[in-house]
Structure 1
Amino acid sequence: MTFRLRAAHPDDLEPLYEMAKLTGGGFTNLPADRNSLAAKLERAEDAFRRDEEGVADEQFVLVLENTATGEVRGTCQVMTQVGQRWPFYSYRITTLTQQSQELQRTVRADLLSLVTDLEGSSEVGGLFLHPSERAGGLGLLLARSRYLFIAMHRSRFADRILAELRGIIDERGGSPFWDGVAGRFFGMTFQEADYFNAINGNQFIADLMPKHPVYIAMLEESARTAIGMPHPTGRAAMRMLEEEGFRHDGYVDIFDGGPTMTARTSDVKSVREARPTRISHANLDIGERAIIATGALGTFRAAFGMRDIQPDGTVEIDRISAGVLEVGEGDMVWSVPR
C-alpha cells in the first residue's frame, strides 16, 4: 500500500479545503474556510518547528498522502492542551436525587451541566478520510498513527486526552440537540453556530449560554435521544476509541450532543505499546501486520507494514513499507500491531 501519514504543511491548503467541503457539517476542526485552514496550517508549522520539551498550547495537523500520486486523501489533528486560547466547554450529564418523606417517593433527574472540566487535556480530532478512499483500513491508519505520534513526543502532551465524536445530524444538516437546547438562546441555526465556532472560537457560548443546569426530561424527545449518541458514520470510530481505552464518562458536545471520550494518555493502548526499535533488515517477506512510524515532528511519517521483532531487540520490516517511509537498515522506527 502506497499511503503514508505525514506532517501537514502550508502548501497542503487546497486539498484540505476540498476535503472540508465534503464533511457535511459538524466538523469544527475542519471548517470549509480557506483563511481558517491556512491559519491552522501555519499554527501547525510553528508547532512542528518548536523542539523544546514540555506541554504548550499547540496543534499538529497530519495528512494522508498517496506516495504514488502525491495526492492528499485524508487528514487528522492532535491538540496538545485544549482550553488555553478560550474556554473548552462541555455538557456533563449529572443526576440530582430528591426525596419526599410525605410522599415516600424518591425522584432522580438527569441534568446537563455546563462545565470546563476537560480544560488542559490533549485532544485527537479532525479526522476525515476522502469518501473514495474509505476501504482498505485507511481510517485505522489515520486514527492510530496519531497515538504513535503522541508516544514519540510524549513530553509535549498532557496526562489526559479526549476525543469528540460528531453527534446526530439530520438530513437537513441540522442538529436536534442544538435545536432543543442552545439554539433556543442563540437565534442561530446549528450550521451557523458550528461555522462561527470553527472560525471565531466559542467565547459567544460563555457570553450567551445559560449557566444553570438543564433538566433533560424537559427537552423534546428528538433532543433527548441525541444526547451522547455518535453520528452513524462515527460508530466505527467510537469502537476504535474504546479498543484504545477511551471511555464515555458523561461528557457531551455543547453543539450537537455527541459523546466526548476520555482516557489517561499513557494508558491509551497504542501509546502504551509503542516502542522504538532499530531496523536490522528491510526485506521481510512474512511478518506481523503493524503500523510503523519514523521521523520526528515535521519529518514524522507512518504507514502500514510488516514487522518481526528480533531477540536482540532490533526489528525487521518489509521492503514496501521501508520504501514508503524512506527508511533502511540502522534507522529507528516505532511500531504497534495493526
Structure 2
Amino acid sequence: MPDIRLSDWQVRPARESDLEALCALAELTGGGFTNLPCNRDALKARIERSLASLARKVVEAGDELYLLVLEHRPTGLVRGTAAVFGGIGISSPFYSYKITSISLHSRELSRTFRTRVLHLVNDFDGASEVGGLFLHPDVRTGGLGRLLARSRYMFIARHRERFADRCVAELRGVIRADGSSPFWDGLAGRFFGMDFVEADHFNSVHGNQFIADLMPKYPVYAALLPETAVEVMGVEHPDGRGARRMLEQEGFRFNAYIDIFDGGPTLDVETDRIRTLVEARSARAAPVPSCDGATALISMGQLADFRALACPALLEGERAIVPLAAGVPDQAELLHAPF
C-alpha cells in the first residue's frame, strides 16, 4: 500500500467494478456489519440498488441507498466504504430497543427495586441513516477515516431533498473473538433458534421480517437477562470508539436506543444540525499550482458524479483556492467546510 497522503484520496459512489474490492473489505470485518455483509450476491445487490438510487428522480426521503467508496486516486485502489440511506423503515419496519427505567417500591418490605426495561420500538421509521463505515486496516490513519465519515454528510448536504429531518447511526455492539454476541445470546437468540452469526448473515441478505415474526413484543426487564448481556447494552465494539467520537463531534447523541441484535448504541441528530451541514459553504473552485491554506473538506458533483476529498484550500469570498494536484476543475461548484 502506498504511503498515506490525504490529498491522494477521494470518496465517490460505488460502481459495479468495485465489487471485488468490497468483497475483500467484507472479509476483514469480523462479522456484525449488516451494511457490509460477507456475501458476494448481497454486495452486488447493494451496488445495483445504489446505482438505481442515484439514477432515480427523488424529491423527498425514500427507500434509497447510496453506497460510497474510498479510492486512492493515483492507483484506483478501493480501501474503504460507507453508506447513506434516504429513509429507513419504509419498505419494512426498523426495529430498536428503547431503554427506560422503572422503580417498584414495597412499603411493607421497605425495599425499592429498580431495573432497566427494553421496549421494542419503530421510533426511527422514516429517518435517514449513515452507516456501513469500514476502512481497510492499512489505511486507518492520516485522516482517512474522517474523510470517509464526513463525506456522507457532504453527500446529504448536496442532495438535501433526498433526506429526512432526522438522521441516525448504528454502531456495532460488542462481539466476542469467536464472532458470537453476548447480547444476542442473552435475549433474541433464545427466540430464533440460531446463533448471532447466522442471524446477522440472514438479516443482511434477506431483510428483517423474521424479527417481526418471532421477536417478543412485550417489554423485557433487564434484571431477567444474564449479566453478560446487560453489561454490553449500549456499548460499542472497541473498534467503533473512534467512529462514535466522530459522530458525537457531528452532533449525534445516544438517547437510549440500542440494536436488537448485538445491543450496540444507536445515535441520532436533527439532520440540519449535523456539524458538517452547518459549516458547509458554497464556493467556486480556483485551482492554482500550489496552495498553503489549511486542509479543508470539499465536495463537488451531483449523484453519480459526486466526489469528496480533503486538500489545502483558501476560502476567499465565493472562491475556493485549491491546488491543481487535487484535480478539481476550474470554476467547479464546491461545498467547502473546515476539516
Moved over 6 A (4+): none
| Distance in 2, Cα, partners of 1:228 & 1:84 | 25
1:209 and 2:210 correspond: no
Give 1:98-137 correspondences, 5 Å limit.
98-137=104-143
For the pair 1:328 / 2:329, whether they are aligned, the reply is yes
Q: Contact 1:283–1:316 at 8 Å: present in 2 too?
A: no
Q: Match for residue 69 of structure 1? A: 75
Give the structure 1 partner of residue 323 of structure 2.
318
Instruction: Give the CA RMSD over aligned residues.
Output: 1.3
2: CA distance between counterparts of 1:170 and 1:33?
21
Residue 143 of structure 1 deviates from its aligned partner by 0.2
- The answer to whether the 8 Å contact 1:28/1:195 transfers is yes
> Given that residues 172 and 265 in structure 2 are in contact (C-alpha distance below 8 angstroms), is that contact kept between their aligned partners in structure 1?
yes
Task: State the Cα distance separating 1:284 from its structure 2 match.
Answer: 4.2
Alignment of 1:11-22 (within 5 A): 11-22=17-28
| Partners of 2:61 and 2:128 within 8 A in 1 | no
* 1:273 counterpart = 2:286: no
Secondary structure in 2 matching 1:39: helix
- Match of residue 298, structure 1, among 304, 311, 315: 304
Quote the offset at 1:83 in angstroms: 0.7
Please list every run of 5 or more consecutive structure 2 residues that lacks an aligned counterpart in the other structure.
Answer: 1-6
Offset, 1:105: 4.2
1:95 matched to 2:96? The reply is no
Query: In the alignment, what sits opposite 1:59?
Result: 65
Contact 2:287 2:324 in 1 (8 A): no
Q: Does structure 2 retain, via aligned residues, the 8 Å contact 1:282–1:329? A: no
How far apart, in 1, do the equivalents of 2:51 and 2:287 lie? 33
Tell me the TM-score normalised to structure 2 length.
0.95
- 2:128 aligned partner, one-letter code: S
**In the TM superposition, what whole-angstrom CA distance separates every residue of 1:173-220 from its partner, at most 9, and x where no partner exists?**
100000001011111100000000000111111111111111112211
SS in 2 for 1:238: helix
**Which segment is superposed worse, 115-124 or 283-292?**
283-292
Aligned to 1:151: 157
SS of aligned partner of 2:313? strand
Q: Any residues of structure 2 matched to 1:236-251 within 5 Å, and which?
A: 236-251=242-257
1:170 maps onto 2:171 in alignment: no
More displaced stretch, 275-284 vs 36-45:
275-284
Q: How does 1:29-48 map to 2 (within 5 A)?
A: 29-48=35-54
- Alpha-carbon distance in 2 for matches of 1:251, 1:205: 17
Aligned CA distance change for structure 1 residues 334 and 284 (closer, same or farther; 3 Å):
farther
The amino acid that maps onto 1:337 is P
Distance in 2, Cα, partners of 1:282 & 1:33: 44
For 2:77 and 2:171, the matched residues in 1 are separated by 26
Secondary structure in 2 matching 1:261: strand
Q: Who is 2:3 aligned against? A: none
Contact 2:291 2:314 in 1 (8 A): no
Cα separation, 2, equivalents of 1:168 and 1:225:
10
1:284/1:316 contact within 8 Å kept? no
Which ranges in structure 1 are unaligned for 5 or more consecutive residues? none
Partners of 1:34 and 1:124 in 2: CA distance: 22
Q: For the residues of structure 2 that align with 1:217 and 1:84, how far apart are their CA atoms?
A: 33
Q: Shift of residue 31 of structure 1?
A: 0.6
232-241 or 127-136, larger mean C-alpha shift:
127-136
Q: Which segment is superposed worse, 31-40 or 278-287?
A: 278-287
Q: Structure 1 CA distance, aligned partners of 2:82 and 2:58?
A: 23
- Within a 5 Å distance, the mapping from 1:224-243 to structure 2 comes to 224-243=230-249
Q: CA deviation at 1:107?
A: 3.1
Kindly provide the amino acid, as one letter, of the partner of residue 136 in structure 2: H
Whole-Å separation in 1 of the counterparts to 2:288 and 2:51: 31
Alignment deviations for residues 131-182 of structure 1 (CA, whole Å, 9 cap, x no partner):
1111211111110111011001011000000000000001111000000010
